[in-house]
Structure 1
Amino acid sequence: MLKAYTAGLLLTTISELGDKTFFIAVILAMRHTRRWVFGGVVLALAAMTVLSVLIGQAVSFLPKHYLDFGEIALFVGFGLKLLYDASQMSSQPDEEEVKSAAIAVEESKFSRWLSQSAQWGILAEAFLLTFLAEWGDRTQITTIALAAANNPLGVTVGAIQGHSICAAIAVIGGRLIAGKISERTVTAIGGGLFLLFGIVAALEVA
């Protein structure tokens, strides 16, 4: 369980820091009460985590050697891709994720209507924007793979805690650090972590 918790915590935290959902939380926290934004973001990410773990548990009925190979291939593949992507990036703070998050907030007419409904509207806006942005994200795929081959409770607790840490950073201090986040550094660290857990998984199978 410790391995599942650690993997869920570290991979989620690094993957989400500076991601689209991170900047959505930053933008919303600049416009609305921070505690309601934080609540909506964390609820959305927790719901996505539980859903991903359930999908992973459904996949876990496949033969174990397929799951082991799939987990190793996924981690190593993600790790190599992220390291390659990092080598091609500028050392300057990333602007694409910021623009993407801003567009998602501005173009969501439904969320603007919700945000006018006091606290619950802010909570619903943060939940919807975050949940939709997280769907199909690398973190979701990683959570599914982890839950398929590891203790589901450990993965769930670790991933939710990782999401909560990133959400807290975004809501409390995101405005100050958003322009200083180096996507290249975060991507390189993420690539290294994926490779590390891929190697650990391979050694466990050997």
Structure 2
Amino acid sequence: MEAFWVSTGVVALGEMGDKTQLLAVLLAARFKKPIPIILGILFATLANHALAGALGGWVAAALGPEVLRWVIGLSFIAMAAWMLVPDQLDDDLAVKEMALWGVLGTTFVAFFLAEMGDKTQIATVALAARYGDLVAVVAGSTLGMMLANIPAVYLGDKVAERVSMAWVHGVSAVIFLALGVLTLFNVGHLF
């Protein structure tokens, strides 16, 4: 359960103010159809994070436990620094209505592509490598994405106005830093 809950918390906090959360707001404003948008986010996240988790499992198997511990620990510390850099929606990811795909398809494609190389995808790779429980990590990281993005779809700009993204990014950075330090010092369980 630790892998599930840590993945959920890390990804939910990491997603706050992220470009994919901004994309959720943009999609909601453009299409005004929350259910297909939420389903598109869910399916894209499951596909993307399953691939990321599988990569994390492969990395864990390819590296020895000592090298893996250092790679993961330093990756979490790098993620802590990356969390302090505010994310913006890239112009090349701006959503254009694709009649062929509809709202669900447009959301799936846009989210899947926007999540490639994103903080939460990299975190999923590292978490899967650290915990070795692909199902728990993917389920947790997907739940974390949904916890951050469903309110963005329904409340959009109202949430962003009330929540300090600098504070959220700071808390996320501290969590990633703690995970990195605990991993480097070979602490097996966080809770």
Give the TM-score, by structure 2 length.
Answer: 0.86
CA distance in 2, matches of 1:156, 1:168: 18
| 1:198 to 2:187 alignment | no
CA distance in 2, matches of 1:136, 1:167: 18
The secondary structure found in structure 1 opposite 2:94 is: helix
CA distance in 2, matches of 1:42, 1:145: 21
| Structure with greater helix percent | 1
Superimposed CA distance per residue, residues 95-141 of structure 1 (whole angstroms, 9 cap, x where no aligned partner): x62xx2576225x4xxx2x2x35xx6110101111111110112111
Which residue of 2 is the match for residue 158 of structure 1?
140
Which residue of 1 is the match for residue 130 of structure 2?
149
Per-residue deviation, 1:82: 4.5
Which residue of 2 is the match for residue 89 of structure 1?
none
Question: Which one-letter code corresponds to 2:121 in the other structure?
Answer: Q
Superimposed CA distance per residue, residues 135-172 of structure 1 (whole angstroms, 9 cap, x where no aligned partner): 01121111111111212222111101101111211111
Question: Which one-letter code corresponds to 2:134 in the other structure?
Answer: P
Question: Which one-letter code corresponds to 1:182 in the other structure?
Answer: S
* Greater radius of gyration (CA): 1
Q: Aligned runs of 1:50-129 on 2, under 5 Å?
A: 50-61=50-61, 62-79=63-80, 81-82=81-82, 85=84, 97=88, 100=89, 104-106=93-95, 108=96, 112=97, 114=98, 116-117=99-100, 121-129=102-110
CA distance in 2, matches of 1:103, 1:27: 14
The secondary structure found in structure 1 opposite 2:41 is: helix
Root mean square deviation, CA, Å: 2.1
Superimposed CA distance per residue, residues 169-205 of structure 1 (whole angstroms, 9 cap, x where no aligned partner): 1111123123344331121011111012223322426
CA distance in 2, matches of 1:41, 1:135: 13
| 1:138 to 2:139 alignment | no
Identity of aligned residues (%): 27
Question: Which one-letter code corresponds to 1:50 in the other structure?
Answer: A
**Partners of 2:69 and 2:186 within 8 A in 1:** no
Per-residue deviation, 1:57: 1.1
**Structure 2, unaligned stretches of length 5 or more?**
none
CA distance in 2, matches of 1:82, 1:55: 21
**Partners of 1:42 and 1:167 within 8 A in 2:** no
The secondary structure found in structure 1 opposite 2:187 is: helix
CA distance in 2, matches of 1:26, 1:34: 10
Superimposed CA distance per residue, residues 57-77 of structure 1 (whole angstroms, 9 cap, x where no aligned partner): 111112111111111111123
Number of aligned positions between the proteins = 184
Question: Which one-letter code corresponds to 1:142 in the other structure?
Answer: A
